[in-house]
Structure 1
């Protein structure tokens, strides 16, 4: 039995607004609906996951999802939610970004399931030959300046200034909807609540230009419980591309969510049923300090965005940090993951030539790096079994560290006691 799309969004907390009659239309027939994605980066971020999941629920409810990659609108710049105008990209960079985003979308949506197979379209395809004069004659005359000025995305920028390029964005996006309505039978546009004004410009253009009817639906903008913006960390955006955000950091982003945020996220970003989520929350409530809810959330999303192997590696990396990981797991970490796991750990450098010749561990820890204040204290800690190199306890106080000990041919991980780590970098 297929899902009821609107009811699915409601219980997951993913429904903000919709034009009256939208739910009746969706229950009556298979509907083609689309969401636009901004191509100004070569990766989608976790903020885009809300709309990806919306399209996924849409498809699972028996409808046809269309992802519109804004090759043309990316050359204009959407003012919604922006405090200043964005830098515009050239066509070569946009094409690169489009291809990378398309590959990411293909991981979530089913593009080979018959009548409701997902599709990807690029609005540059229909704007490429559309001259400016034709556009203002065929589109601009149907929407008044008063109508455009009333939009929140415009009002918020009037004091600081807004270029005509950005001001025209809602007309460009509105025409996307008109084009897809007329040529592809698309009846619904979806998006975040900040897009409501742009979306209804499309429904208005369809009404005024062709006396047609179209529908709109938006999802809430997500904010963390502390009021800060979702999808951001101190290091910047959290991306779906592992080259931009490693699977370990991606996993940690979800794992570090507060209880209230995790309860919200597991509804929005996973396909778990209402009953499964309730059971997870009940289990979490028995021992919140074990973070069962966060672990289930981060495991689900990391495996789907990346892979089961990446999830396993992220979990192993997390265990290394908290003292449970093995030496073999440490050696298996990539350089990026190693540095991500031990970000913030004190680092010290030594000449690579010294390690190639071999350095007695006591010299290394006391004289060369100052991890211990004296040779005597180093010897005492070694004798007590309190020092590990690369997660292996040093049992011989005469041990010599050499180039064969280097992780990724450059690093030594020193552990003093249970919780104190140091990363030695051989240059």
Structure 2
């Protein structure tokens, strides 16, 4: 099957322009597609995965990819899905994050030769643009009236949209035009929330270059209630193992709602469609087999087989009901971070980054969902003896029903 057929079979195609024309275009040779990622955060997260996997499917179909890192567009900030203007980030931080993104994307995609795939950074052309020539050459092709109808703009008009952010669509469109001109790239892939921005680039290429250009989007990663996935009580589910451990990553997918399992098996694994359908049809307790398959395959894709094996074994140990203390991922603290004889439980769990804020720790305590070594923590004034953290076994921290970590002082 070709790219479009695979994407449709796996439910990964939300919208596509000129579908029959694109189908014919793809059948007549090796073609180039790109997807862009703005380095506005410290790491890629689960929400970035579908565009990444769309590029992967594109390569698997025998075509060439371009990963575009938004070192230029990150200086402006995409207003899509944001209720207020993003915090301004320095060029130095943006460039550091772009390099980190580049390393994170390498395991998913093949960059072994320029014929298979390349990574570019739009800072290389956007930061050097001259304002008046750019307005005359590109701005004349955009209608303000039409730009105001874009969802990303409409949603912000009532609360305020800066002129800086208003320019984002034009800059993203220029990226497509630049890659078409210099890399013969005719297809942009992206999340469905980027549809308006992507259409702007496609129309710019068709208008200025008089060449074929296409857009295809992947669905947003949402649950059955329409709520964005990829978040936990600790914040985003990151690709970086320093921010979200492979075990926590595994557990996120292991604990998905039943009605999301089949969809995510199609999205995040290479399992054949027939096997996905079989797993998706499991019910009651048997659905756990499908969840384990999803968690394992997704963790293997992101962190490798060794980490996936360890996470699976650790989860089995924790929830098997066997006697004795189960294994759990360790969180290590420096002795200098806990110098006294005791430390407040709220301070400790925030310091260890097991919770994103003190308010989250207090909320978990109030809900009765926090225990240390099997003993429920009843009050947020509870003091933890540092001597317990120095023991070889450390302290087993249980958050909610299924999240376990061993907290100890390093060395």
Match of 2:4 among 3, 6, 9: 6
Instruction: Give, in whole Å, the separation in 1 of the partners of 2:32 and 2:14.
Output: 20
* Alpha-carbon distance in structure 1 between the residues aligned to 2:174 and 2:405: 57
Work out which of the residue numbers 303, 311, 334 in structure 1 matches 2:330: 334
Deviations 1:376-399 (A, max 9, x none): xxxxxxxxxxxxxxxxxxxxxxxx
Q: Deviations over 1:169-214 (max 9, x none)?
A: 1100010000001111001111111111111111221233233331
Cα offsets for 1:341-393 (capped at 9, x unmatched): 9983235655456x7xxxxxxxxxxxxxxxxxxxxxxxxxxxxxxxxxxxxxx
**Shift, 1:426, TM fit:** 8.8
Bigger drift between 139-148 and 41-50 goes to 139-148
**SS of residue in 2 equivalent to 1:119:** strand
TM-fit CA distance, 1:309 = 2.5
CA contact (8 A) 2:299 2:308 kept: yes
Q: Deviations over 1:311-366 (max 9, x none)?
A: 23322332343255786963x8422699869983235655456x7xxxxxxxxxxx
Q: What is the distance in 2 between the residues matched to 1:23 and 1:294? A: 34
Does the CA contact (< 8 Å) of 2:330 and 2:406 recur in 1?
no
CA–CA distance in structure 2, aligned partners of residues 167 and 422 of structure 1: 44
Residue 18 of structure 1, aligned match among 16, 19, 25: 16
- Alignment check: 8 A CA contact 2:33 2:186 kept: yes
Shift of 1:160: 1.2
Q: Is the 8 A contact 1:246 1:336 kept in 2?
A: no
Matched residue count: 366
**Native 8 Å contact 1:251 1:302 kept in 2:** yes
What's the TM-score, normalizing by structure 2?
Answer: 0.81
Secondary structure of the equivalent of 1:186? Answer: coil
Q: How does 1:110-129 map to 2 (within 5 A)?
A: 110-112=110-112, 115=115, 117-129=116-128
Pairwise CA distance, 1:42: 2.2
How far residue 414 of structure 1 moved from its aligned partner, in angstroms, is: 10
Alpha-carbon distance change, 145 to 315 in structure 1, aligned in 2, over 3 angstroms:
same
Match of 2:294 among 268, 286, 297: 297
Residue of structure 2 equivalent to 1:173 = 172
Contact 1:316/1:329, CA 8 A, preserved across alignment:
no
Q: Is the 8 A contact 2:332 2:409 kept in 1?
A: no
Kept after mapping to 2: 8 A contact 1:349/1:425: no
State the TM-score, normalizing by the size of structure 1. 0.78
1:183 to 1:113, Cα distance in 2 relative to 1, 3 A: closer
Q: Deviations over 1:29-72 (max 9, x none)?
A: 21100011121012110011101110000000011111111000
CA deviation string 1:64-87 (max 9, x = no partner): 111111000000011122222111
In structure 1, how many angstroms separate the alpha carbons of the residues matched to 2:310 and 2:322? 11
Question: Structure 2 regions of 5+ residues with no counterpart?
Answer: 334-348, 356-363
Structure-1 residue corresponding to 2:103? 103
Alignment RMSD, CA only?
A: 3.1
Does residue 344 of the first structure (1) align with residue 370 of the second (2)?
Answer: yes
Q: 1:349 to 1:307 in 2, by over 3 A?
A: farther
C-alpha displacement of 1:239: 0.5
Structure 1 contact 47–230 (Cα < 8 Å) conserved: yes
- Residues 323 and 161 (structure 1), Cα distance of their counterparts in 2 relative to 1, 3 Å cut: same
Unaligned runs of 5+ in 1: 356-401
1:406 aligns with 2:402: no
Seen in structure 2, the aligned counterparts of structure 1 residues 114 and 123 have a Cα distance that, compared at 3 Å, is: closer
- Which residue of 2 is the match for residue 257 of structure 1? 256
Residue 211 (structure 2) pairs with residue 215 (structure 1): no
Q: Deviations over 1:402-425 (max 9, x none)?
A: 96x532xxx24599xxx9x99898
